[in-house]
Amino acid sequence: MKTRAAIAWEAGKPLEIDDIDLDGPRAGEVLVEIRATGVCHTDEFTRSGNDPEGQFPAILGHEGAGVVVDVGAGVKSVRPGDHVIPLYTPECRECKSCTSRKTNLCTAIRATQGRGVMPDGTSRFARGGTMLHHYMGCSTFANHTVLPEIAVAKIREDAPFDKVCYIGCGVTTGIGAVINTAKVEPGASVVVFGLGGIGLNVIQGARLAGAAQIVGVDRNPTRRAMAERFGMTHFVNSAEVQGDLVPYLVSLTDGGADYSFECVGNVELMRQALECCHRGWGVSVIVGVAGAGQEIRTRPFQLVTGRVWKGTAFGGARGRTDVPKIVDWYMDGRIRIDELITHTLPHREINHAFDLMHRGESIRTVLTY
Ligand code: NAD
Ligand code: 022
Ligand code: ZN
Write the CATH number for 253: 3.40.50.720
Tell whether 161 is covered by a domain. Answer: yes
71 plus 212 within the same structural domain: no
**What was the pLDDT predicted at 323?**
98
Ligand 1 pocket check for 271: Cβ under 6 Å: no
Tell whether 211 is covered by a domain. Answer: yes
276 in catalytic set: no
Q: Is 25 exposed, middle or buried (0-12, 13-18, 19+ CB in 10 A)?
A: buried
pLDDT per residue over 224-234, tens digit each?
A: 999 999 999 99
Q: What atom of ligand 1 comes closest to residue 289's alpha carbon?
A: 32
61 plus 145 within the same structural domain: yes
Query: What CATH code is carried by the domain that includes residue 344?
Result: 3.90.180.10
159 plus 180 within the same structural domain: no
Tell whether 325 is covered by a domain. Answer: no
Tell whether 326 is covered by a domain. Answer: no
Choice among 4, 26, 103, 110 that is catalytic? 110
Round to whole Å and give the CA distance between 95 and 172: 22
User: Could you count the other beta carbons within 10 Å of the beta carbon of residue 311?
Assistant: 16
219 plus 205 within the same structural domain: yes
**What was the pLDDT predicted at 216?**
98
pLDDT per residue over 23-39, tens digit each?
A: 999 999 999 999 999 99
185 plus 96 within the same structural domain: no
Choice among 3, 29, 63, 140 that is catalytic? 63
User: Could you count the other beta carbons within 10 Å of the beta carbon of residue 239?
Assistant: 9
Tell whether 147 is covered by a domain. Answer: yes
229 plus 150 within the same structural domain: no
39 plus 158 within the same structural domain: yes
Ligand 2 pocket check for 312: Cβ under 6 Å: no
10 plus 94 within the same structural domain: yes
Q: What atom of ligand 2 comes closest to residue 89's alpha carbon?
A: 31
Which residues have C-beta within 8 Å of that of residue 143, sequence separation ≥ 6? 3, 4, 5, 33, 34, 347, 369
**What was the pLDDT predicted at 185?**
98
Domain count, the chain: 2
Ligand 2 pocket check for 136: Cβ under 6 Å: yes
DSSP codes of every residue in 238-299: TTT--S-HHHHHHHHTTSSBSEEEE-S--HHHHHHHHHTBPTTT-EEEE-SPPPTT------
**What was the pLDDT predicted at 183?**
98
Domain residues for the domain of 238 are: 174-313
Which residues have C-beta within 8 Å of that of residue 317, sequence separation ≥ 6? 89, 104, 172, 173, 176, 180, 323, 326
Tell whether 323 is covered by a domain. Answer: no
64 plus 78 within the same structural domain: yes
Q: Is 343 exposed, middle or buried (0-12, 13-18, 19+ CB in 10 A)?
A: middle
Find out whether 341 and 362 touch, Cβ atoms under 8 Å.
no
Round to whole Å and give the CA distance between 129 and 20: 10
Cα-to-chain-centroid distance, residue 280: 30
12 plus 63 within the same structural domain: yes
Q: Ion ligand 3 — residues with CB under 5 Å?
A: 40, 42, 169
Tell whether 322 is covered by a domain. Answer: no
Find out whether 295 and 271 touch, Cβ atoms under 8 Å.
no
Round to whole Å and give the CA distance between 176 and 214: 16
Tell whether 331 is covered by a domain. Answer: no
Q: How remote is the CA of residue 279 from the centroid of ligand 1, in Å?
A: 26
118 plus 211 within the same structural domain: no
200 plus 162 within the same structural domain: no
Residues of the chain with pLDDT under 70: none
Best residue among 60, 219, 264, 356 to mutate for probing ligand 1, ranked by most atoms within 8 Å of CB: 264
